[in-house]
Structure 1
């Protein structure tokens, strides 16, 4: 929101405060200042000058050499390219040394070989509004040599970011109230006229959708003259970035930014009573002021007239056919209160936002509707003429959304560390607009919907008093470590390990796109959930901000894949990324409450190390990813158990000590090409809680062996379909006490069938034997080795060569 300091002067005197002090007051009170911009003539060296002569430039067709009188006693030569002036006109002249903003300082120099000692300016070049193409032509009675800062008002615009819980700050009145409380100065209340008399008349206004619009007012003003707004009104609107339209519409915009309550004006000749505030019909269409036609649903609130024609989309935007134009003579002024949730839902779905919807969806003050209507009606009759025909017609009642809140003096003193007295705290609450009731309770004003608890009052007192004035506590109470602390420490340990292994951490949004290809089971592109998704498992957002943020992620891998794609486009060759975060899903197809769990997702692919003259580049593969998992769970046996998953060329469950802890998959070549990668990309997702349970306890370290061991190799012929995991499972089952370790070091297949049957493979293992008690004899090793081979031959369809 843009706040004009000149506009604020109508409410309070800030002459004793610098811009930096105002910035600090707002920032330290929780109102973020996004920027400060000076408007108006930026330099006192920009003066009124009169063109005395203008000759053609000898070296440029579109330039003229002008002699101008800038009130210095002698003429100044300036080269100018504008075409809209004539000799004798008075124009702005920026003398050398003038700073036009953005580091643009006027200097003496030469243009196409001709000396130029300054610059003749257009309005837009000196912080004013352009009304013509070319130089700004000043009034004939402008005094030569007078700085333009004396002729035109300057202003300072403060851009603030207002949090959703503070809609009361979305107006100059609200901002003035806030600054007055923070600075401890008095606030002046401008004259806004008396509240209008009201009457309930269903023949003029009726509410058919009270849940969506509990309160609606309308007043008719006849005999208005719609024309250009007066200068003071246009200046205020232009200062905050609004374009003046006509005096009636400008008044509604002025009142909106003055009081914070939206209004709308209808052309009375285009409206037939009664006005009906109702829910739209399914598929009903509406042409808005932006000249776009929108298809409505029965959840959208509209204002229609006696003929059923939709005049406005309630709380968001007026209709194109019922708006005020230059031919309007009768105006119906609307002021209402709309339920925030309905306005927010419609605005998001239609992607239609306005200053009105921005305020209504955050919660406007219901009690301000009548005040805003009376103020706007008063201004319209003063500026556009006309008369108010009758009392303000109302339908429904303005809801009371605030109540009394008790301030606990003892808790206040404890939380504030005794830094403020009860009288001082009460003074702050009064300055913020609260009024004291009985028994220590405070009546919350209707514009402060965010104050509902004792702690809310303490927070208001603390931020106005100043958190820097609350004494620090140098001692704290000892708290035993909790499960939350243990989980945090473990996750930090995972981050350190992965960083040491060369991985980069990512943080992606918890909402992802829903690329559903199946009506019964949602298949999120690149999602690798720990447990395959069932029908109804995916949690969809009711009102997503966009199609790319429609689903609560059931897996972290889509975010990693998107990160990899961005890095591939930037030329990254080695892809090593991880993320620790929360994933979401329904349990049992939505029959139980939603489940949230922390996961660790890994993405690996591309080059293992940069290419060099000394070696050929290696490609990261599935075994590198398995090695990473092994490094995260040292001392535990990790296995990949194949499991078919749709959308992946290769997939498996990750087992630790035979128990599932995660999922593994390889992206299809087509998906890799879509991402821009010509090399395989692998994914894994681990259950952090299970990994933590496996990592708890004291790590055991084996003693170094005291006696030498002996190795034996064995090559076995087995079916191609026999998994390595089955072989390792059989080796473990044999439980040979002398077997210290084993590893597969070669696999051979021959699809042609010439050297080995096509349905067979040759697997070579190395077995290492050692006794912890003595040096073994060769015969003893041979016996143990043969027993192992005999066991494998019985347990598996293998034969040894």
Structure 2
């Protein structure tokens, strides 16, 4: 809600409170201040000046050196770049020491070597206009030295976020009433319905029997002989301050009353009402309606309309009709004030996609007793501003009921709950909020506080106004041990951090895939789970794997010109259980790599493309203490695939290269590699492992290289498996560094390959001798020769 500080000050004295203090006061009371903006200038150093001389700057073609009279003994020299003024014009001048909107401070200075003591200003620079095409030329011949704040009223505009349960705050008077309770400052004004005569008269206003649930109270007052025209300056200024456009005095008064009191009202041109009367009724099926904004709406019986004898004149609580609106030719008006069903107004507003200031308030709930107050204020202003004569009788239909109920409270319980609040302090706060009581126990809730329905609500009000600082802190929670879910979350988060540190991007995809994507599922042994009522052809199954969605993600990035494709995602995957209808959930980690290893750079004319070894390196980095075993496997989506396991029975998932045919179908023109791991299995294996840190080696190590000729179809992990089984204490590690094959068979038989390993040896307790390294190395060679078909080269 847009709120004007000047408007608020018409109801409560806020002198001495800064904008920031008001911001804090409202925020801590539960009214969120989304922003504030100062319009106009209220600085004594910004005055009216008259340009007496204007000479070309000696060193700048687009600047002029001006002599400006501001009422001081001497003329001010100001360098200016504007061109829309002439000698003799009166303009705003910000003297040194002035602070303009945006915390822009004016100081003495030099522009291109010439002294300048101030700044001649545009309207935008002063926050009093949007035109930034030049200086603001002042009309009306104001006296030199006059404060600009005397010519243009400054204001601070707050944008407030009002929670749905506080419709009483959707007005300036409502906010002022709240500030009065928070600050203890008295309100300057109070609104009440005048002593009026009410009359139920179906010839003027009535409610149809089947619409009583949509409109519980309706009132109308006739004002004859009005003169519609422009609004007076004060009213136009109020309307403009909150971003509305003045239309005419009668319409502006209805908008003013809405933002003043928070209760919407409407004015009809009586001459345009067929039969001169109105009725609240249900709309007919397919009834057509043209709103004030010329939008065409088709209504149905769930909508409530205010109609004359032949047509709908307004959609109740939402908008008036174009055909019955007040214009310059209007002479007699009918002022409406009513109470409509919030749920019905909300449903109509949403269905018609028509949210107005009126519907915004009605759908949150208005005070039925405020209808007559709003009607009285509107009538008074129309008569004062537009003339005319108001009938003494207010025509009503239905009954305006008070919707709040008295609440009984236990003051001792309040005191203990809130940390020693005395009964007198409780009563004082509740009284400031508009509640009344004779004994301090039973409190009558004002009709505008629809949110106060339980005794505990009063506790919140006392705490909100008093503040939470005096409430003593206490701990009622008890610590609990971490659960398996907690530990799995921490484990997964740790893996995510490692992957991000490796340069991968986390993806987030939905848990539904299409039937066509099932072929991309990495684990072909899983039975997918179909949806009984599929959302669309693209979302027919719960995902048995994350891989299909990540492949689509990669394809979309390629389509957007991405050259690097490092993605990962963790999440739930689903499989059909053994019993019909059972669904088994598990946690998975999927990684896909492809494209360039690094972003393109002018320094690298031939950037490297990501390969399988990069994916394996990522696995080793996130699982440094897990010894993985790879076993060749088959799967339709992979051109090359291996099953990943730990030990003999713990299968973690699969890894491999995506089939080129699948990549072509996705329009991906680079090799792609993927791995999918079962996080539940991995977590179970690593949960009890403690991270151990080894001391840095104190004694030197050495290495031996071996080159061997083995069958071409021998997996490299067979060689590593033999090395892992060796019980040689000084064998520290190994690394394959070369692989050679020759399809022609000239340098090496076509069915053989040459593999080179570097083996490192180290004794942690002493410096090794050459003989013991030679012996250990010979043992390694013998073990390889015994276990494999190998020839050393």
Per-residue CA deviation, residues 745-773 of structure 1 (Å, 9 max, x unaligned), is 9999x9xxx99xxxxxx99999xxxxxxx
- After TM superposition, the structure 1 = structure 2 runs for residues 685-696 of structure 1, keeping only pairs within 5 Å, are none
What is residue 495 of structure 1 aligned with on the other side? 496
What is residue 90 of structure 2 aligned with on the other side? 91
Secondary structure class of the residue paired with 2:322: coil
Distance 1:285 1:566, change over 3 A: farther
TM-score (norm 1): 0.68
8 A Cα contact 1:317 1:354, kept in partner: yes
Distance 1:71 1:396, change over 3 A: same
Query: Please, which of 338, 357, 360 is the counterpart of residue 359 of structure 2?
Result: 357
Rounded to whole Å, the distance in 2 between the matches of 1:145 and 1:785 is 103
8 A Cα contact 1:95 1:117, kept in partner: no
Rounded to whole Å, the distance in 2 between the matches of 1:372 and 1:38 is 30
Rounded to whole Å, the distance in 1 between the matches of 2:37 and 2:712 is 79
8 A Cα contact 1:662 1:687, kept in partner: no
Secondary structure class of the residue paired with 1:468: coil
Per-residue CA deviation, residues 432-481 of structure 1 (Å, 9 max, x unaligned), is 23344889454444433444445443333223222233233479634344
8 A Cα contact 2:597 2:607, kept in partner: yes
Rounded to whole Å, the distance in 2 between the matches of 1:122 and 1:20 is 27
The CA deviation at 1:329 is 1.7
The yes-or-no answer on 1:278 pairing with 2:279 is no
What is residue 539 of structure 2 aligned with on the other side? none
Distance 1:373 1:474, change over 3 A: same
Per-residue CA deviation, residues 338-396 of structure 1 (Å, 9 max, x unaligned), is 44445445545554433223333444444433332332222222222223346444445
8 A Cα contact 1:747 1:763, kept in partner: no
What is residue 791 of structure 1 aligned with on the other side? none
Rounded to whole Å, the distance in 2 between the matches of 1:440 and 1:554 is 62
The yes-or-no answer on 1:26 pairing with 2:26 is yes
The yes-or-no answer on 1:287 pairing with 2:290 is yes
Deviating more after overlay: 195-204 vs 258-267: 195-204
Rounded to whole Å, the distance in 1 between the matches of 2:3 and 2:61 is 45
The CA deviation at 1:109 is 9.5
Distance 1:29 1:501, change over 3 A: same
- After TM superposition, the structure 1 = structure 2 runs for residues 687-766 of structure 1, keeping only pairs within 5 Å, are none
Distance 1:396 1:615, change over 3 A: same
Per-residue CA deviation, residues 540-560 of structure 1 (Å, 9 max, x unaligned), is 9xxxxxxxxxxx999999998
What is residue 205 of structure 1 aligned with on the other side? 206
- After TM superposition, the structure 1 = structure 2 runs for residues 25-44 of structure 1, keeping only pairs within 5 Å, are 25-44=25-44
Per-residue CA deviation, residues 67-122 of structure 1 (Å, 9 max, x unaligned), is 875434567788796779996xx734415435543466678999999999876666
Structure with max Cα Rg: 2
The yes-or-no answer on 1:368 pairing with 2:357 is no
What is residue 447 of structure 1 aligned with on the other side? 448
- After TM superposition, the structure 1 = structure 2 runs for residues 519-538 of structure 1, keeping only pairs within 5 Å, are 534-535=530-531, 537=533
Rounded to whole Å, the distance in 2 between the matches of 1:427 and 1:538 is 59
8 A Cα contact 1:528 1:665, kept in partner: no
Deviating more after overlay: 563-572 vs 226-235: 563-572
Distance 1:9 1:534, change over 3 A: same
Per-residue CA deviation, residues 29-69 of structure 1 (Å, 9 max, x unaligned), is 33232333333334323334567799999999999999875
The count of aligned residue pairs is: 721
The CA deviation at 1:531 is 8.3
8 A Cα contact 2:46 2:95, kept in partner: no
Secondary structure class of the residue paired with 2:234: helix
Per-residue CA deviation, residues 483-528 of structure 1 (Å, 9 max, x unaligned), is 664454444344344345444457x7x999x9x9x9xx9999x999
What is residue 463 of structure 1 aligned with on the other side? 464
Secondary structure class of the residue paired with 1:36: strand
Deviating more after overlay: 111-120 vs 393-402: 111-120
Secondary structure class of the residue paired with 1:380: helix
Rounded to whole Å, the distance in 2 between the matches of 1:594 and 1:397 is 57
8 A Cα contact 1:91 1:121, kept in partner: no
What is residue 249 of structure 2 aligned with on the other side? 247
TM-score (norm 2): 0.68
The CA deviation at 1:600 is 6.4
- After TM superposition, the structure 1 = structure 2 runs for residues 40-59 of structure 1, keeping only pairs within 5 Å, are 40-49=40-49
What is residue 164 of structure 1 aligned with on the other side? 164
8 A Cα contact 2:406 2:443, kept in partner: yes
Distance 1:111 1:299, change over 3 A: farther
Distance 1:576 1:48, change over 3 A: same
- After TM superposition, the structure 1 = structure 2 runs for residues 152-231 of structure 1, keeping only pairs within 5 Å, are 152-194=152-194, 196-203=196-203, 204-207=205-208, 208-231=210-233
The CA deviation at 1:229 is 1.3
Rounded to whole Å, the distance in 1 between the matches of 2:604 and 2:358 is 67
8 A Cα contact 1:639 1:658, kept in partner: no
8 A Cα contact 2:50 2:70, kept in partner: yes
Rounded to whole Å, the distance in 2 between the matches of 1:48 and 1:400 is 55
The answer for unaligned runs of 5 or more in structure 1 is 541-551, 702-709, 718-723, 732-737, 756-761, 767-774, 787-801
Secondary structure class of the residue paired with 1:461: helix
- After TM superposition, the structure 1 = structure 2 runs for residues 779-790 of structure 1, keeping only pairs within 5 Å, are none
Per-residue CA deviation, residues 675-711 of structure 1 (Å, 9 max, x unaligned), is xx7646788898877876676566899xxxxxxxx99
What is residue 790 of structure 1 aligned with on the other side? none
8 A Cα contact 2:93 2:120, kept in partner: yes
Distance 1:631 1:68, change over 3 A: closer
8 A Cα contact 1:644 1:650, kept in partner: no
Distance 1:124 1:443, change over 3 A: same
Rounded to whole Å, the distance in 2 between the matches of 1:665 and 1:359 is 60
Rounded to whole Å, the distance in 1 between the matches of 2:9 and 2:389 is 30
8 A Cα contact 1:195 1:371, kept in partner: no
Rounded to whole Å, the distance in 1 between the matches of 2:557 and 2:403 is 50
Distance 1:105 1:621, change over 3 A: same
Distance 1:491 1:388, change over 3 A: farther
8 A Cα contact 1:205 1:218, kept in partner: no
Distance 1:281 1:474, change over 3 A: closer
8 A Cα contact 2:628 2:644, kept in partner: no
- After TM superposition, the structure 1 = structure 2 runs for residues 307-456 of structure 1, keeping only pairs within 5 Å, are 309-348=311-350, 350-389=352-391, 391-397=393-399, 402-405=404-407, 407=409, 412-413=414-415, 415-416=417-418, 418-436=419-437, 440=441, 442-456=443-457
Rounded to whole Å, the distance in 2 between the matches of 1:199 and 1:430 is 34
Per-residue CA deviation, residues 631-683 of structure 1 (Å, 9 max, x unaligned), is 878578899998899xx99999999979999999979768966xxx7646788
8 A Cα contact 2:196 2:392, kept in partner: no
What is residue 2 of structure 2 aligned with on the other side? 2
What is residue 735 of structure 1 aligned with on the other side? none
Distance 1:447 1:558, change over 3 A: farther
Secondary structure class of the residue paired with 2:469: helix
Distance 1:50 1:176, change over 3 A: same
8 A Cα contact 1:654 1:663, kept in partner: yes
Secondary structure class of the residue paired with 2:324: coil
Secondary structure class of the residue paired with 2:462: helix
Distance 1:747 1:320, change over 3 A: farther
RMSD: 6.4
8 A Cα contact 2:85 2:137, kept in partner: no
8 A Cα contact 1:522 1:533, kept in partner: no
- After TM superposition, the structure 1 = structure 2 runs for residues 617-628 of structure 1, keeping only pairs within 5 Å, are 617-620=607-610
- After TM superposition, the structure 1 = structure 2 runs for residues 43-192 of structure 1, keeping only pairs within 5 Å, are 43-49=43-49, 70-72=70-72, 91-94=90-93, 96-97=95-96, 98-102=98-102, 126-128=126-128, 135-139=136-140, 142-192=142-192
